[in-house]
Amino acid sequence: MNLELQQFKAEFFKALAHPLRIRILEVLSEGSKNVNEIQSIIGSEGSAVSQQLSILRSKNVVFGSKEGTSVVYSLRDPLVKDLLQVAKQIFDNHLVGTISLLESMRISEN
């Protein structure tokens, strides 16, 4: 069981391992969107967005539902939004630590 959970986590984090996929997930954290809306918000080519959505869909991170002639994408699990927020907090903590280190180095040089 533990090995299966570790494998799931590894595959899940592989699905997140691209800056454009992270940006797409951030956009979808704000609500469901179709490809054109995502493309417009991100400022990226539709083909790139579609390719990354395909990967996220294949890893069951997002899902698409047909609405008229377009597909609207949503997060499969709303906890992904929380995960992205925690990742930002970790980044901020690292940044604060780096700034503190640089400040202490600057003070010790004077």
The stretch 7-31 carries a mean pLDDT of: 95
pLDDT given for residue 93 in this prediction: 81
Q: E-assigned strands of 1-110? A: 33-34, 62-67, 70-75
Is 82's pLDDT higher than 90? yes
The stretch 57-78 carries a mean pLDDT of: 95
Tell me what the pLDDT averaged over the chain comes to.
90
Using pLDDT thresholds of 50, 70 and 90, give the confidence band for residue 84.
very high
Domains of the chain: residue spans and CATH? 2-109 (1.10.10.10)
Query: In whole angstroms, what separates CA 79 from the centre of its chain?
Result: 12
Q: For residue range 87-107, what is the model confidence (pLDDT) as tens digits?
A: 989 888 877 777 777 777 777
